[in-house]
Every structure is written in structure tokens, then in C-alpha cells.
Structure 1
Amino acid sequence: MIKAFFTRPLAATTLALCVLVVQAQAEEMAFDVLILGGTVVDGSGGAARQADLGIKNGRIAAIGDLGAALAEHRIAAEGQVVAPGFIDVHSHADRAFADADAAAMEGFLRQGVTTAVFGVDGFMGLDELKEKATLAAQGRSGLNFLSYIGHNAVRNGVMGKEQRAPTAEELAAMEAVVREAMEFGAVGLSTGLMYLPGRYADKHELIALASVTAPYGGRYDSHVRDPANALITSHRECLEVGAAAGIHAHPAHMKAVGGKNFGKGDALVELVNHYLAQGQEVSVDLYPYDGAATSPVVNLLYPGGDAAGEALMARIEPLLSGKSIPEESIEALLTDLRAYWRRSAGITEVLASARARTEDPPAGMFSWIDTVGYESLRIVVSAKPAYEGRLVTEVAAELDVSPFEFLRRIIVAEGSSAMVTLGAIQESDVRRVLTQPWAMVASDGEELSPSHPRGRGTFARLLGRYVREWQVLSLEEAIHKITGLPASYLGLPERGILREGAVADVVVFDPDQIIDRATWAEPWHHAAGVSHVLIGGRAALTDGRLQRDRLGRYLRFRGAEGSTEPTATVLRKAP
């Protein structure tokens, strides 16, 4: 009796303790989000593996067999790839901050992008950077972002459009702005040496300003000076500036651009490898397209010096200076330009004046044809399909007219619908650079009024075409180029990688369905194949539906804190 008296309560107590232990273990194993049954490609370049992903408090808490664990939200990822959120290391998506709806960055999220780098090509001033950081903190941005401080913006703020070297006082003023920007968390200095006023800067000025970023571990990113006419010299200048300043050099959107440079992908690779062999830190980015910026043909030719031409030039001036004018005013201007080119057909002196302005513009006026040359222009949209895909110089020679006259005829016949790429590239040269271990992939695209398909298609195109269809890269290599490699370059050891403790920026996509749908003629189409995007463990895209919350924040660059991750990772293809 005594034994029975004590045994039953003891059994009940033991059972209760067991229940408490199981409940405690269950709570310990509970996650905010579970991603189950997917193929994990972790961003390191290592082999894919089947695993579940557990997310708690915005970070990756576990990777493994988690099917029995509890979670508030469960994502079924069978047949899909689970990867780090993609990082667009060269983006103009920041222009979307001007529009509350566009700032959701839907086009980028639908490609799996969670972080972008702004301030590229030299066009980010310090005040603008602070303003955008504030807007992001207020919930405006759909993407996380870092930013360079832009040389063009800094120079313009101190010197305007002056075509000369800065005085000692002016250089010191520019250095002070760059230093303040680095204190605010800028990645480094970016330049746009093809554009005004950046093209007026010499190497001494660039080295002085880049050197300011060195104590902060800064990077030197450059839209090089004259790639169409001096391809190797322009890229070498970027590497020399980085070496002289003692910082990482990064030529932006590297490409063997223009007809005269077709086949020079090998030379670009040799140049980078030479500097790497000398101990210089170098990386590049590129977009997976055989054409650079896109423009309606009507935007490329300037009117002559007659009264009607001068009146049109006065209306064009706001566009040349980067001022915003209403869309309907631009459309009216394009209509009037087309009519002007029709009327000018037989007026020799007017056409001569217009051609001179277009090919050799006055000081302070920017002309794409002066900058890249006719031989860089490939027709990508035309009412005559036989023109599409061909160089302007090639068709003009066939018709026995000057390239200028050929473009004038296209404007008269097709108005603003005919389009060219401003930088034709051979596909073989794209692939030569793309397959290098130091090459990242970036969009150089925008969200607001995209004019090039890369803004809505780059990352889906990489995975759908260069991986699945053309097998130029393995899936692991391609994902490394848009996650782990840019994260290393940007000093983001907690992003771009799927590992326990990392920030839960995650994308889930179907490797058999992901594809770009944006085209030269219709660049606004969203990519397909991405089902889920999480930023900091919270949903930005769920089952292909854009979520309401804007989760992007300004990320301060932390290169000076001495990240232990390597600057560049050598990829080796699986045997």
C-alpha cells in the first residue's frame, strides 16, 4: 500500500516533467519562417544540397532537416532553389525614390534582388544620399541599399561645369565632402568620366579624392573615361587610380563596346589579371546583354543653327542639364524634332550645321554620338526588321549615305519608335568577362520608366539563359556572382550567404521557370519564376505577390572594420 501510494503521484510527476521538456524543446525549435524541401545554393560557390531553412528574429537560425519543427509560417519549396537575396552591385534604381509607388522596387524584387548599390557613375551627392537614407528609414524603399559618393556630383557642387583642374582650395573642399560621405557610410568614390563634368578631371584629382576613402577601406568604382575609343587605356586608368590610392579598383559594367572593340574581351581579361598578379585588388561587374544603354534615335541628333533649330535647342537644354520636365513636354519635343528633320531634308547648310553639333558639340553640351561614335550603335527596334541587330555604320554603308543621314531618315520614317543601343557588344566578349572569377553581375538598370531590358531582366536572364539554356555558368557559379562575391566586395559578411547567424535575406525561385521577359521594344515586363523574397526574414514577395511593407534600409559600408572575407573568391568549375 505504501508503495502504491508513492508510485502513482511519482508517475504523474514524471509525465508532467516530460511534457514540459518536450514543450520547451518545441519552443526552442520554433521558427518564424520555415522554408522546406528546397535545394539550397548558399552563395559561397559550393555545391547545392537539399535542406530546410529555419528563420528566427530576422536571421537564419538553422539549416538541415527541420520538417518536424514548429513555425509561424511555412514555405513549401520542393523543386525550387533557395538562395541568398541577390545583390545588384551597380544600380540606378534609386531614381525610383521620386515616385512613391515605383520605390517599392517591384521589378527588382521579382528578380530576387534584396540589396542594391546606388551612387554609381559619379551621380550621387552627399545631400541626396542623406535624403534617400532618411526616406528608406521612413519605409519608402523596397530594397536595402548602399551607395558611393559620386565624383561628378561633388565636383559640380564645388566647381560647376568648369573645364579645368581644381585649385588647391577647391580640391580640399571636394576632399572634405568625400570624407564626410565616408563617415556617413559610403562605399567609396564612384566616377563617371564619360560624362560632364567628370571628363574634365585628370588622374591627379581622381587619386587625391580616392585616397580620402582609403582609411575607411573604400572602393574606387569607375564608369571609365572613353571605352568606345580607348578601351584598354580607359580601364587601365581606373586600375592605376586604385593602385595609387591604395584601394580596391572596380571598373563598372566592363564591356568591349563598339565595333572597333569587338573581340577585345581577351585584352580586358589580360589587363585585370595583370594587376591582380601585381597584388592590386580588382573586381568588375557587367550586365548579361550585348548592348549598353538604349535610346530612341530621335534623341541622338541635334538641330542645326537656323531659327527653328535654335528654338528647338532651347527646349532641349533642360534635358541636357538633367532637369525634370513633364512627360507630355518630352513627347511634344520629339514630335517637333521629327518634323524638323523632315523639313531639313533638302537644306544643305542646315544639315551641315546639325551634323557638326551632333558629332562635335560645343563645350558644355553632351552628345552620345560624339562620346561613343556611330560604330557603337546597333539598331534594336525598327519598323524594318532587316535593320534590327545591325550596326548603324553597316546599314549606312549599304545605302551609300553617311551614318548621320541614315539616322535622320529613320527619324523621319519612324519617329520616336526606332531605337538603338548606345554600346553594341559581341556576345563572345560578354561571356569572356562573365566567366572570370572576379566578375560580378549587375543590372545598371532602373525601376522608374525602364528604357533597357536589364532593369527588369538581368538576374532572371542570368539564371534562365546563361545557366539553364546556354550552360555558360553552373547554377552555383552564377548565384555566387550575385550574392557571395558582391557581399564580400561590399563588406557584408552577414549577407550574400546562407549560414546560421546570417541575415535572412532569401530568395526562392523555380530553376526551370525563371526567365527574363523584358525586351528591347518592351523593357517594362517583369521577370518570371521567383516565388518568394524575404528581407531580414520578412516577406517582400509571397507566392509571386508583392507585399505591402517596404523593408529596405540604408546599409552603412563597413569596409574599414576589417571584414575577414576575401575580396575576390576564385571559382573552379566542377569536374
Structure 2
Amino acid sequence: MQSMTFRFALAIGCLLLGTGARASDEAPVYDLLIRGARVLDGTGTPWYYADVAVTGDRIVAVGKLPANAASKRTFEANGQYLAPGFIDPHSHAWPAIGEEALASAEPLLTQGITTVVLNPDGTGPVDLATQQLRIEQARPGVNVALLVPHNSIRIQVLGYQNRAPAAEELVRMQSLVREGMEAGALGLSAGPFYPPGNFSKTDEHIALARVAAQFGGIYTSHIRDESRYNIGLIAAVDEVIQVAREARLPGIVTHIKASTRACWGMSAEVIRNIDAARAEGVEVFADQYPYDASGTSLSAAVIPGWAMEGGESKLRQRLKDRALRAKIRASVAENLENRGGAESILISSNRADRRLEGLRLDAIAKQRKADAVDVAIELIARGSPTIFSFNMNETDVRAFMAQPWTMTSTDGSLLSEDNGMPHPRAYGTFPKKLRRYAIDDPVLTLEQAVHSMTGLTASIMRLRDRGVIRVGARADLVVFDPKTLRDNATYENPRQLSTGVTFVVVNGVVAVSEGRVTQERGGRVLSRARE
């Protein structure tokens, strides 16, 4: 009896084993298969031909797959380039990305961007948990990661006071940074160029950055001076190096530039200093957009920092005081000249008078038969407009771009039609860099350029399983045609979508097909803890 039982059990076991073997031999049915692509895998290594298969939100196969491989959807790349989805480490897509009508992020997807990092320059909500919830409810078309904003924390604790925090106030600020990091932030963002961040000292940044470092976070800064407004460009970059060194975390000089004619050519010294810090063992990086004009508010560009103590209402009061107005005017004149004069300033958004949008400051002054300095002050007093400031040199742009520690960023906003003119970088940064600086007039190889948009950024931001094409990585992917890839946005007509990005996948969801946004939203809020 026992022998019969054993033989029966053995037979059943063999039957089950055989069934399992046959099941495992069956070819998988992928959710998506991209065939015949020239793969730029995000590491900077030379491209290679491969098929890439996706199941769920993961890449499950890379290589030459069988001709009969089954897939629910197949995209024939026909030799186009396939790269990891582009990552923008400096985006002003908030608050638009929290509004369902704009959260589809069409200007981003048509550039190949699949992930954005929000709250740069020290701006954005202090309550990251609520911000995350609002973004999730809007169903974003791209992935979103957050930073803890220093300027916003300073406003909450100190307002616009021009002083250092008391001991208990610093503890409160540190607690707010900790709460943000616990909510999943990637790190701390600062903007000591802007009030009230410009009232802070370096030791305050170090103390707060040390909290971010405890969570494996980063520190990124719109540096205190990109020209010679206060401490100067070199000293401002050195401040980021000091914070990174003393807080023991990666420091990022965000949208790196040598701004205004007085600093043209200083890229060489900045590069030497960053290279020296890195040789010393300090993690220092930069990000950059490939344009010769910055975008900011007119007040930030020309009003001296001391005049902004207490906020815009206090500035307006000071402008009514004859002696203070004269002092402010002298600084505005100097700063305007430093930026290249009134002809270098283009009004991009002006709620007080929409007719001024698209005009240069010198043209407005000519219309009004007034001095450009006085016109600038009057515009600021009525509600500071945003501007494009043409103050960079192509030699410096190319020098910074060539560095292996420079990422690609847009510094761009998602703006509704009633919010004026966005900077063209919001619509064209990534295609422009690939087209102009890697294909037509190379500063970088295509592999290096893509690395600066993907693997480099993911590694600095500690985004695991993104920024690379390999089995097990998240299925954030972009296919682009080098023959048709173009940035179409201009300063005069910036709301022009880029072309040549033919296929985009966000967490396995096809977001762009045949160059058109599908309205299938696959974006997620990314958390440092989960990533």
C-alpha cells in the first residue's frame, strides 16, 4: 500500500513539474515592446541597437528579442534614439501641476521630460504633505519630486526681517526642514539671491542643510550673486561649496551662469573652483538651461536687497520717501546698467498693463518719453512684472555645459494663457540642447548630453531605478528622431511645442505617441524614501 501511495505521489509530482516546465517555456506577453531603437542608456556609454520590453511600470527585457515576441503594444523605432525619460532638476511647474487642466504637462512631455523636481530657489509650500496630495489629485502627466524651500520656511518663522534667527527660531526652521524630509523631499532648496533668503547668512544654510543630510538629501541654491550685485559670482559659488563641505551633502549651483557683461569669462574660474572642491572630495554639481537670457522679476533684477526688507508693501512705502527713493534709484540705475541696459530687458508678464508684454524696457521708456530707470521703478511699484534678461555670453554657456558635473534643467514654468509669456526654456530646453549642442554644433556627444539629462541627474537626486535603461528600472522612456528634433519656442513666441519627440512612456504608460500627447497620465509623486 505504501509502495502504491509513493508511486502515485511520484506520478503527480512529475505531472506538476512537467506542467510548470511547459508554462515557464511559454514566451511572455509584454505590455509594451519598443523595437529597433538606438539605445542611449543614460550612462554616457555609446549607443547600441536593442529592443526594450516593458511590463507594468518596469523594464523587463533589453536586447535582441525574438521576432515572434508577443506584446500588447509595439512601437517600431526604426533606428530612432531611445533614452531614459528626461529628468528636470529645477522646475517651476508648481502650482500649475496641481491644477488638473494643466497637470497633463504637455510642454514637458513633448520635450521628453518624464520627471520634474519642484520648489527650487527656496520657493514653494512649506507643507509638503498637502502639496503632494494636491498634485496626486490633479493626476500629473509626469513624475513629480519635491524640495524643502528655505525662503518659505524663513518667511514662516521670521517674515521678511533682515536678521539672523534666534536659537529657538533656528530650531523651528530645522524642525520644518525635518518635516519636509520626512514627507519624502529630495533635499533643501535655497535662494539667497531673493528676499528674504538674501537676509540669511551661510551658517544658517549649513545648519539647515545638515538636517537634509541626515536623510541623504541634497542642497541646491540659486546662488547669492550671479554677477556683482553683492558678494560676486565667485564668492557665491564658493558659498555652495562651503555648505556642501560642512553639511556633508551634495551641493548644486542651480542654473549656473556668468550673468551680465561684468562677469563674462568668469566661467573658467568657477569651473576651476568646482573642480578643486571635487578633487578635495566635496560633492558639487550644477544644472543649466541652454539660453542666453534669464527669467526673473524686474524687482529681483534691479532692486537692492535692503529695500525689500519687510516685503513689497514696505518697498512701496520706501519709494514714497524722497531720500530713500533717490537711494533706491541709484541702485536700480547701476543694476540696470550691469544687466546691459534697458534694451536687454524684455517684459514677459505684466498684470498691471498687458500691452507692455513683449516690449523691451527701452522701447517703453521711449513711448513714455521718460528715463528707463524711472519707468522700471514705476512698473515695480505697480506690481513687479516678470522679465527676460539678455545677459549671458555663449562662450560661458558652452563652457559650463561641457562639464561632466552639469545637469540639464529648464527653470521653466507651466503658465496658463492669461499669465503672460513663459520663457522659451519651458517649452524647448531639452530638444534645444540635443539639437544645437550635441547634433548641429557639438559641445557634447549625444551620449554625454543624454547622460546630463538622465543618469547624472538621477544619481545626484538619489532617484533609484530612474535615469537608466536596464532590466528592473522604471519604465520612463523617450524616443526621439534626430532628423526632426527641434525646439520651436522663441522669446517672441514662446508657446510653441517642441517636435521630434515621437514616443514617451511614464511609468509604463504611453504619454506621447507619434509625437502627440495621449492624455493618458502616468505620473506619480516620488518620495525620497520610496525611490
Q: Distance in 1 between matches of 2:333 and 2:247?
A: 31
Deviation at 1:405, TM superposition (A): 6.6
Q: For 1:413-492, what aligned pairs fall within 5 Å after superposition?
A: 421-422=388-389, 424-449=391-416, 451-492=422-463
Change over 3 Å in CA distance of 1:246–1:376 after alignment to 2: farther
Determine whether 1:549 maps to 2:520. Answer: yes
Q: Distance in 2 between matches of 1:372 and 1:500?
A: 54
Supply the RMSD in Å over aligned alpha carbons. Answer: 3.5
Q: Distance in 2 between matches of 1:320 and 1:495?
A: 45
Amino acid across the alignment from 1:425: M
State whether residues 415 and 422 of structure 2, in contact with CA within 8 Å, keep that contact through their aligned partners in structure 1.
no
State whether residues 346 and 389 of structure 2, in contact with CA within 8 Å, keep that contact through their aligned partners in structure 1.
no
Q: Distance in 2 between matches of 1:48 and 1:320?
A: 55
Change over 3 Å in CA distance of 1:107–1:207 after alignment to 2: same
Q: For 1:239-254, what aligned pairs fall within 5 Å after superposition?
A: 239-254=241-256
Q: In structure 2, what is the equivalent of residue 81 of structure 1?
A: 81
Amino acid across the alignment from 1:293: G
SS of the residue corresponding to residue 103 of structure 2 reads helix
Q: In structure 2, what is the equivalent of residue 161 of structure 1?
A: 160
State whether residues 505 and 536 of structure 1, in contact with CA within 8 Å, keep that contact through their aligned partners in structure 2.
yes
Unmatched runs of 5 consecutive residues or more in structure 2? 1-16, 304-310, 348-359
Identity of aligned residues (%): 36
State whether residues 488 and 497 of structure 2, in contact with CA within 8 Å, keep that contact through their aligned partners in structure 1.
yes
Q: For 1:290-439, what aligned pairs fall within 5 Å after superposition?
A: 290-293=292-295, 356-360=327-331, 373-375=338-340, 379=344, 404=373, 421-422=388-389, 424-439=391-406
State whether residues 412 and 426 of structure 2, in contact with CA within 8 Å, keep that contact through their aligned partners in structure 1.
yes
Q: In structure 1, what is the equivalent of residue 279 of structure 2?
A: 277
Q: In structure 2, what is the equivalent of residue 173 of structure 1?
A: 172
Deviation at 1:372, TM superposition (A): 9.0
State whether residues 377 and 424 of structure 1, in contact with CA within 8 Å, keep that contact through their aligned partners in structure 2.
no
Deviation at 1:138, TM superposition (A): 2.8
Change over 3 Å in CA distance of 1:108–1:522 after alignment to 2: same
Deviation at 1:548, TM superposition (A): 2.5
Q: Distance in 2 between matches of 1:476 and 1:509?
A: 13
Q: For 1:40-79, what aligned pairs fall within 5 Å after superposition?
A: 40-66=39-65, 67-79=67-79
Deviation at 1:531, TM superposition (A): 1.1
Deviation at 1:100, TM superposition (A): 2.3
Amino acid across the alignment from 1:94: W
Unmatched runs of 5 consecutive residues or more in structure 1? 1-16, 303-315, 322-348, 361-366, 383-390, 562-575
Change over 3 Å in CA distance of 1:534–1:377 after alignment to 2: farther
Amino acid across the alignment from 1:68: N
Q: In structure 2, what is the equivalent of residue 144 of structure 1?
A: 143
Deviation at 1:163, TM superposition (A): 1.0
State whether residues 226 and 371 of structure 1, in contact with CA within 8 Å, keep that contact through their aligned partners in structure 2.
no
Relative to the length of structure 2, the TM-score reads 0.81
Q: Deviations over 1:464-497 (max 9, x none)?
A: 1111111221110000000000000011230000
Q: In structure 2, what is the equivalent of residue 200 of structure 1?
A: 199
Amino acid across the alignment from 2:107: G
Change over 3 Å in CA distance of 1:223–1:419 after alignment to 2: closer
Deviation at 1:536, TM superposition (A): 1.1
Change over 3 Å in CA distance of 1:191–1:280 after alignment to 2: same
State whether residues 97 and 132 of structure 1, in contact with CA within 8 Å, keep that contact through their aligned partners in structure 2.
no
Change over 3 Å in CA distance of 1:290–1:167 after alignment to 2: same
State whether residues 58 and 475 of structure 2, in contact with CA within 8 Å, keep that contact through their aligned partners in structure 1.
yes
State whether residues 492 and 558 of structure 1, in contact with CA within 8 Å, keep that contact through their aligned partners in structure 2.
no
Q: Distance in 1 between matches of 2:431 and 2:23?
A: 43
Q: In structure 2, what is the equivalent of residue 387 of structure 1?
A: none
Change over 3 Å in CA distance of 1:377–1:98 after alignment to 2: farther
Change over 3 Å in CA distance of 1:31–1:175 after alignment to 2: same
Change over 3 Å in CA distance of 1:91–1:372 after alignment to 2: farther
Change over 3 Å in CA distance of 1:155–1:23 after alignment to 2: same
Q: In structure 2, what is the equivalent of residue 531 of structure 1?
A: 502
Amino acid across the alignment from 2:162: Q
State whether residues 333 and 373 of structure 2, in contact with CA within 8 Å, keep that contact through their aligned partners in structure 1.
no
Determine whether 1:106 maps to 2:106. Answer: yes
SS of the residue corresponding to residue 275 of structure 1 reads helix
Determine whether 1:288 maps to 2:281. Answer: no
State whether residues 378 and 420 of structure 1, in contact with CA within 8 Å, keep that contact through their aligned partners in structure 2.
no
SS of the residue corresponding to residue 524 of structure 1 reads coil
Amino acid across the alignment from 2:470: R
Deviation at 1:443, TM superposition (A): 0.4
Q: Distance in 2 between matches of 1:23 and 1:183?
A: 44
Q: Distance in 2 between matches of 1:422 and 1:203?
A: 27
Q: Distance in 2 between matches of 1:43 and 1:83?
A: 7
State whether residues 118 and 148 of structure 1, in contact with CA within 8 Å, keep that contact through their aligned partners in structure 2.
yes
Q: In structure 1, what is the equivalent of residue 10 of structure 2?
A: none
Change over 3 Å in CA distance of 1:195–1:101 after alignment to 2: same
Amino acid across the alignment from 1:232: I
Q: In structure 1, what is the equivalent of residue 12 of structure 2?
A: none
State whether residues 51 and 65 of structure 1, in contact with CA within 8 Å, keep that contact through their aligned partners in structure 2.
yes
Q: In structure 1, what is the equivalent of residue 8 of structure 2?
A: none
Q: Distance in 1 between matches of 2:336 and 2:119?
A: 22
SS of the residue corresponding to residue 95 of structure 2 reads helix
Q: Distance in 1 between matches of 2:23 and 2:261?
A: 69
Change over 3 Å in CA distance of 1:186–1:407 after alignment to 2: closer
